[in-house]
Amino acid sequence: MHSNAAWAQGAQQFQRTMEDGWKQALDALQHLLPTTGTQPPFVPPAKAEALRLQYVEEAAALWNECLRGNPVSHDRRFSGPAWAHNPVAAFSAAVYSLNTRTLLALADAVEADDKTRARIRFAVEQWAAALAPSNSLAGNADAQQRAIETHGESIAQGVRNLLHDLRQGHVSQTNESLFEVGRNVATTEGAVVFENPLFQLIEYKPLTPRVYQRPLLLVPPCINKYYILDLQPDNSLIRYAVEQGHRTFVVSWRNPDESLADKTWDDYVQDAVIEAVERVRALTGADAINALGFCVGGTLLGTALAVLAARGEKPVASATFLTTFLDFSDTGVLDVFIDEAFVRFREMQLGEGGLLKGQELASAFSFLRPNDLVWNYVVGNYLKGETPPAFDLLYWNSDSTNLPGPFYAWYLRNTYFENNLVKPGRAVVCGQKVDLRKVDIPVYIYGSREDHIVPIGMHGGGAYASTQCLPGPKRFVMGASGHIAGVINPPSKNKRSHWLRPDGKLPPTLAQWLQGAQEHPGSWWPDWAAWLKAHAGRQVAAPKSYGAEPIEAAPGRYVRQKA
């Protein structure tokens, strides 16, 4: 009887605590709401009351669940055995999850335009991710258990890991000491055959006795190192292209320092992409080449092709765009950062010169997925004293690059903010009005279904939208997974799936395209290889030497430069 009374008293106290928590949640949300404008956003009273009642009901259910035993969490942050065997930790995790769900529901209930609501939700997600009980030693049952099992050594190692990361300037996502560019990443054999202040041009040694007459040029994103396309021999898109019989070249961007702080979008289009196209033609004697652009590299390639078309030139016979924006009408979560005030601030800060530091870019991209790319490593490295496993992709991800300020400022305004590339004549690059309708060549367009950097285009825009703004023959394929894992998906792994439409139709929206799409297991690379073969010309004997006297062996100096 006494026990029942104690539980009842505890339930009442818990309910009062949760009611107080509700008030605190409303106060916290209020601090996140914008205060500018004549009509500040708010949560309608009816919605707020409905969410309050739901919150109290779920809190009562949580208390009753605790009476029957520790609540079970399906969140992987709190799903380990130590959480299940620790009543206090399990309870705190359950309360945290309830509070987070409620705050997100409140954020979604705010009366405001879509962009304001998305910004509020993003702020709530960041706040909630940072306040998870798993992020502190006092609240993390797994870390506490490990400290007991190791007699405190895990805590000591965690401190050593923290000091190491403070010295290197970023949170370790992998054991970086196990990788070296040119030794066990970026190892496909080749040579640097041209360089200027912006890039080195690498030509790869043929792996087949005969090669296609029309060479292939790859343009990777300049916000990362090129070797995402050449990590290991078994997952290298570059090596795969060489094995298919293509005479393959890649742009290896220089990591900008102060000497490049005044470089513009025009410079990167004319002196890098167009220069690379002309150099490959000159080195191989080809009348036209095939080109591939990945992410921002694809946006640069698309812009360069429009500039060349405006000049009446057609040196590229076909183009491949991998997870590329040409139409920026739907930029996904990145849109929360972009408005006139932010763009103008960046123009004032960097538009006339300076560098956008690589670490700032890397941090911004990591916090788009804070639980996976930030707090997961804080917990593992510092609370549990673990050394992250060797992972080539995460080593590449931590190898950050700078950007010239004027380049970045132009890109920000003309793409993410004003979406000028798809407005004929609106953007002027290298003295030419950009009109993608003049880029009348065959194109292969790839988008990743779960891409959070370049959304596939479920809400318009995105990767799929390139099918609507380019006039030539087009093939579109959708791959499973995200921005990187979807692209770097070699056939030998036999992982994931891709989708194609057998009728080849490209209706106005992705939703319509999906209605006729069929799933195919495994990599999309063989489909691309078959498509590219049709645009590569006849086969000729593979050259016995590079197109020019090598400056140095691949991967070259530029890719080794640190931000």
Active site residues: 295
Residue 13: phi and psi, rounded to 5, are -65, -40
Instruction: Tell me the C-alpha distance between 557 and 100, whole Å.
Output: 47
Extract the tokens encoding 154.
């895990």
Integer-rounded Cα Rg, in Å, for the chain is: 27
Cβ atoms 513, 463 nearer than 8 A: no
Cβ atoms 540, 211 nearer than 8 A: yes
Max Cα–Cα distance, the chain, nearest Å: 94
**Ramachandran area for residue 37 (φ above 0: left; ψ -120 to 50: alpha; else beta):** left
DSSP code, position 181: B
Place of tokens 């009980």: 133
3-state secondary structure of 212: strand
Place of tokens 């605590």: 17
Cβ-based neighbour number of residue 9 at 10 Å? 10
Closest CA to 224 of 85, 400, 95: 400
Separation in Å, CA 179 to CA 285, 340, 341, 391, 455: 37, 41, 41, 9, 31
Residue 216: phi and psi, rounded to 5, are -120, 130
